Amino acid sequence: MHEVTVALPSTSIGRSYPILVGAGARHRLLELLPAGAGRAAIVTQEAVPVTVDAGVEQRTFFLDDGEDAKCMESVEELCRQWARWGLTRADVVVAVGGGVVTDTAGFAAAVYHRGVAVIHVPTTLLGQVDAAIGGKTGVNLPEGKNLVGAFWQPAAVLCDTETLATLPPREYRSGLGEMAKYAFLGVEGLRDLPLDEAVAACAECKAAVVAGDEREGSTGRRALLNYGHTLAHALETVGRYDLRHGEAVAIGLAFAARLSRRLGRIDTARVDAHDGVLAGYDLPWRLPPGVDEDEMIAVMARDKKALDRGLTFVLDGPDGLEVVRNVSVGAVRDALEELR
């Protein structure tokens, strides 16, 4: 069993917490419950074939299947059900599932009674390497992804690699799209590592970034975790394309590399390095048919990294990844055209 600590500063809105990675990690739930918790609200989806035993009185609450469940209506319904059951601030929420579950349940936990403890048990590769770690919670609006949410750090994250055996191949590959991002955040040799070590390496990288910039402060370091996500979120927001999140991120990585080249930040060899990582994971990099460039640009302008009305991206460069603001529309349009 690998253990990674998210070492948050003393001024944190949460606190430091462990991430356990390995086969059977979910069975360590009882020992990591907050002291005094008498009830556990288990939040999951019907399609998630994983159960947990909190060792205290527990009740299961189901979200609808699919990305559409990640919405304000789900948060309200969870909070109302918890109130009827009598969940208190001394109890705990346990989110069991992929990013839809951990994001939605985490946000509901953040606002219910102004904050109740949450433990994440991510059951997808994408959740284990990224979504469940770091305390970002939130839901979507029709206008964009993750536009409503809160920073609410979990009490623990249990990445049980046994649960990954239940994933359909395409869902597993979606997680590889998120894992590919870490190759450009300084994690080397991921494809050569056993699965549990690769998951732990990604978790350790994200933990270090979060510890240094919990709430995307002045350093901007945490925003780098969104590499490839600006276009990915736009594709998902438009919603006409059959893309999993990790697949959209892969396309976003290919786009970001080409945009960086057009801005003179990287050369063709570095673009080829991006393409090599994506090919190694058998990930897509072309735009889906029928993408409207004007629509993509309009949606990307609403990205939450943007602090003004200009286009903002995380881009590669001579000093590594950086947040780049006020990128020209023409360069974005040309980079999109390269991906057709």
**Distance between CA 24 and CA 93 in Å, rounded?**
20
Token couple for 304: 């939450």
Does the annotation count 178 as an active-site position? yes
Residues in the chain: 340
**Distance between CA 105 and CA 177 in Å, rounded?**
23
Does the annotation count 233 as an active-site position? yes
Q: Percent of the chain, pLDDT > 90? A: 88
- Over range 49-66, report the average pLDDT: 96
Q: How many CA atoms lie within 13 A of 72 on its CB side?
A: 6
Residue 38 has pLDDT above 70, yes or no: yes
Q: Output the CA angle 44-224-153, nearest 5 degrees.
A: 40
Q: How many CA atoms lie within 13 A of 304 on its CB side?
A: 21
Name the active-site residue from 145, 181, 222, 304.
222
Q: Note the pTM of the prediction, 2 decimals.
A: 0.92
Does the annotation count 338 as an active-site position? no
Q: What is the mean pLDDT of the chain?
A: 94
Bridge partners (DSSP) listed for residue 136: 151
Does the annotation count 145 as an active-site position? no
Please tell me the predicted confidence (pLDDT) of residue 14: 58
Nearest CA to 335 out of 291, 303, 305 is that of 291
Residue 36 has pLDDT above 80, yes or no: yes
Name the active-site residue from 173, 181, 206, 244.
206
Name the active-site residue from 120, 171, 226, 244.
226
Collapse the DSSP code of 122 into the 3-class scheme (helix H, G, I; strand E, B; otherwise coil) and give the result.
strand
Token couple for 123: 């059951």
Does the annotation count 181 as an active-site position? no
**Distance between CA 7 and CA 210 in Å, rounded?**
8
Name the active-site residue from 245, 258, 261, 304.
245
Please tell me the predicted confidence (pLDDT) of residue 195: 96
Please spell the DSSP secondary structure of 260-290, one letter per residue. HHHTTSS-HHHHHHHHHHHHHTT---SPPTT
**pLDDT tens-digit readout, 163-177:** 999 899 999 999 999
Residue 85 has pLDDT above 60, yes or no: yes
Does the annotation count 226 as an active-site position? yes
Q: Which residue has the higher pLDDT, 304 or 187?
A: 187
Residue 258 has pLDDT above 70, yes or no: yes
Domains of the chain: 2-212 (3.40.50.1970), 227-338 (1.20.1090.10)
Token couple for 32: 């990591």
**pLDDT tens-digit readout, 89-104:** 999 999 999 999 999 9
Please tell me the predicted confidence (pLDDT) of residue 144: 86
Name the active-site residue from 229, 244, 258, 304.
229
Name the active-site residue from 70, 120, 171, 178.
178
**pLDDT tens-digit readout, 201-219:** 999 999 999 998 888 775 6
Please tell me the predicted confidence (pLDDT) of residue 131: 92
Q: Percent of the chain, pLDDT > 70? A: 96
Name the active-site residue from 233, 244, 258, 274.
233
Collapse the DSSP code of 338 into the 3-class scheme (helix H, G, I; strand E, B; otherwise coil) and give the result.
helix
Cβ neighbours of residue 179 closer than 8 Å, sequence gap 6 or more: 125, 129, 190, 198, 202, 281
Name the active-site residue from 26, 70, 136, 274.
136
Cβ neighbours of residue 122 closer than 8 Å, sequence gap 6 or more: 97, 98, 99, 102, 128, 131, 132, 157, 158, 159
Does the annotation count 113 as an active-site position? no
Does the annotation count 114 as an active-site position? yes
Token couple for 30: 């009882």
Please tell me the predicted confidence (pLDDT) of residue 216: 78
**Distance between CA 95 and CA 15 in Å, rounded?**
18
